[in-house]
Amino acid sequence: MTARLRHRLGEARLRLRPSRAGGGLWRVDVSVTVRGRWLLRPVVAVALAVAGGRVRQEFRSAVERAAEGWDGQIGELLALDPEELRAELVKQSAERPPR
């Protein structure tokens, strides 16, 4: 999965590559590429040098919270019988706003 953010001053890309890790677990490799105008490069480099560890920690925490939410929702769906699951999927697809 790739997400891209464009701005007149630069562009950022986020790539997520999930793979099975065994034992029912998944491994997700994350890479971020940032390109920008020459004037902003030194500023961003200093900011990342100062706050890079904190940014990585917050990102990891956000991913773990998302995974916990996903696990909870999937667990609830797996507890349903086929008819209940079908009804829930129909309900969810009807409630989802169009993209």
Tokens encoding 34: 């940032």
Question: Quick check: pTM over 0.85?
Answer: no
Q: Which amino acid is at 76?
A: E
pLDDT for 78 equals 81
Q: What is the pLDDT of residue 25?
A: 78
Q: Enumerate residue ranges in the chain where pLDDT < 50.
A: none
Task: Find tokens 């999937």 and name the residue.
Answer: 74
CB atoms within 10 A of CB 33: 11
Give residue 98's pLDDT.
64
Specify the pLDDT at position 99.
62
Which residues are registered as beta bridge partners of 96?
none
Contacts by residues 86-91 (CB-CB < 8 Å, ≥ 24 positions apart): none
- pLDDT on residue 50: 92
